[in-house]
């Protein structure tokens, strides 16, 4: 309660009103702009689907090769070592055989390898798409 | 203002142009303010509002008639807004600036603000709430939605919502009463 015994959120009726102006004519032109976005979306979706369907055989082939190579390496062992347990984690990272999902790896990649190719936007999008909560990659 | 039943009736009859106009007429202003309370910026709201309507319109063929159009629409808008905050928070962490500070700055520097000091502090206080609690507070305090409606929108039990709203309300009230 406030000093006068009243609840400030209940006492001031103006608090429930939105204290912002809207630019003149904003809502009148909104329908047209939404229509334009819907039209753009209609063009974009089939295009994306077409690109994915064309790329699918290549993606499948790349995945099959990756699985074969990984299995081969795991079965034959790393050159110079006797067991799979002795494998260097960095070897996997460098060869991109496991998905990079831990934040440290992302920063490692950002600082050492791809600083000229990855923008902040790329990293943000990657983190969002991979479902990592912002709290999970705070460094402090 | 067209009702949900009228919008769906127009849509089912195949008069999509009228259905679209009825849909935007009924919801544009409500959704604008709903989203605006999260983004603290007209430009971001405009962008999210358009995206929300695109998602509503393209998702309408799959809309289950046993659900209520109103809660379905609000769920889409709320998810868009929460996702926006999540992206903003992620960008803020990369730039080492907490989301709260970014949003406070936007409230302080908003060229469209035309309220008083108490209103400004209220909108800044809301930005201190966690995103979902913010959604609960906004829908209950400003829109006056029932806990059952908010429950349908957020998928949280009415009991949990009551506790969440009470907590948010106290936090904001205490903050404002310290200042005014």
High-pLDDT (> 90) share of chain B, %: 91
Measured between alpha carbons, how far is residue B72 from residues A124, B27, B80, B109, B169 in Å? 28, 12, 13, 33, 26
- Looking at CA atoms only, how far is residue B129 from chain A in angstroms? 15
Looking up residue B75, the CATH number of its domain turns out to be 1.10.1740.10
Residue A132 has pLDDT above 60, yes or no: yes
3-state DSSP call for residue A20?
strand
A134 CB neighbours in chain B (<8 A) are 86, 89-90, 93
Residue B60 has pLDDT above 70, yes or no: yes
pLDDT of residue A134: 59
Q: Is residue B102 less than 8 Å (CB to CB) from chain A?
A: no
Are the C-beta atoms of residues B38 and B81 closer than 8 Å to each other?
Answer: yes
- The model's confidence at residue A64, banded by pLDDT at 50, 70 and 90, is confident
Tally of domains within chain B? 1
Domain map (residue ranges) of chain A: 22-81, 99-140
Are the C-beta atoms of residues B80 and B52 closer than 8 Å to each other?
Answer: yes
Are the C-beta atoms of residues B126 and B169 closer than 8 Å to each other?
Answer: no
Q: Is A121 exposed, middle or buried (0-12, 13-18, 19+ CB in 10 A)?
A: exposed
pLDDT of residue A125: 65
pLDDT of residue A105: 43
Residue A103 has pLDDT above 60, yes or no: no
Inter-chain residue contact A31 with B33, CB threshold 8 Å: no
Measured between alpha carbons, how far is residue A5 from residues A10, B121, B171, B174, B177 in Å? 11, 20, 17, 13, 11
Q: Is residue A98 less than 8 Å (CB to CB) from chain B?
A: no
Inter-chain residue contact A124 with B50, CB threshold 8 Å: no
Residue B91 has pLDDT above 90, yes or no: no
- The model's confidence at residue B32, banded by pLDDT at 50, 70 and 90, is very high
Q: Is residue A19 less than 8 Å (CB to CB) from chain B?
A: yes
Inter-chain residue contact A30 with B28, CB threshold 8 Å: yes
A106 CB neighbours in chain B (<8 A) are none
Which structural domain, as residue segments, surrounds residue B68?
4-179
Q: Which residues of A52-78 are buried (b: 16+ CB within 10 A; e: fewer)?
A: eeeeeeeeeeeeeeeeeeeeebeeeee
Q: Which residue of A has its CA nearest to B24?
A: A31
Q: If you average pLDDT over residues B72-88, what whole number do you get?
A: 95
């Amino acid at each position: 309660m406030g000093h006068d015994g009243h609840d400030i959120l209940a006492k001031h009726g103006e608090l429930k009103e939105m204290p912002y102006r809207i630019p003149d004519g904003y809502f009148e032109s909104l329908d047209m702009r939404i229509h334009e976005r819907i039209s753009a979306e209609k063009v974009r979706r089939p295009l994306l689907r077409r690109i994915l369907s064309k790329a699918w055989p290549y993606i499948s082939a790349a995945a099959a090769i990756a699985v074969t190579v990984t299995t081969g390496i795991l079965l034959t062992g790393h050159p110079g070592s006797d067991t799979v347990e002795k494998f260097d984690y960095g070897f996997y990272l460098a060869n991109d055989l496991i998905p990079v999902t831990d934040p440290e790896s992302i920063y490692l990649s950002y600082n050492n390898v791809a600083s000229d190719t990855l923008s902040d936007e790329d990293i943000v999008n990657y983190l969002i798409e991979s479902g990592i909560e912002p709290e999970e990659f705070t460094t402090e | 203002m067209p009702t949900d039943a009228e919008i769906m009736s127009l849509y089912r009859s195949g008069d999509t142009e009228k259905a679209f106009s009825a849909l935007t007429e009924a919801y544009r202003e409500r959704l604008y303010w709903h989203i605006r309370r999260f983004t603290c910026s007209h430009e971001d709201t405009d962008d999210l509002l358009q995206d929300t309507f695109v998602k509503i319109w393209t998702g309408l063929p799959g809309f289950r008639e046993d659900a209520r159009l109103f809660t379905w629409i609000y769920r889409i808008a709320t998810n868009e807004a929460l996702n926006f905050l999540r992206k903003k928070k992620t960008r803020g962490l990369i730039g080492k600036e907490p989301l709260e500070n970014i949003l406070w700055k936007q409230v302080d520097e908003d060229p469209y603000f035309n309220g008083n000091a108490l209103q400004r502090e209220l909108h800044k206080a809301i930005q201190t709430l966690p995103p979902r609690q913010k959604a609960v507070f906004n829908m209950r305090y400003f829109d006056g939605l029932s806990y059952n409606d908010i429950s349908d929108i957020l998928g949280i039990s009415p009991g949990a919502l009551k506790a969440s709203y009470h907590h948010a309300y106290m936090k904001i009230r205490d903050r404002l009463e310290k200042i005014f």
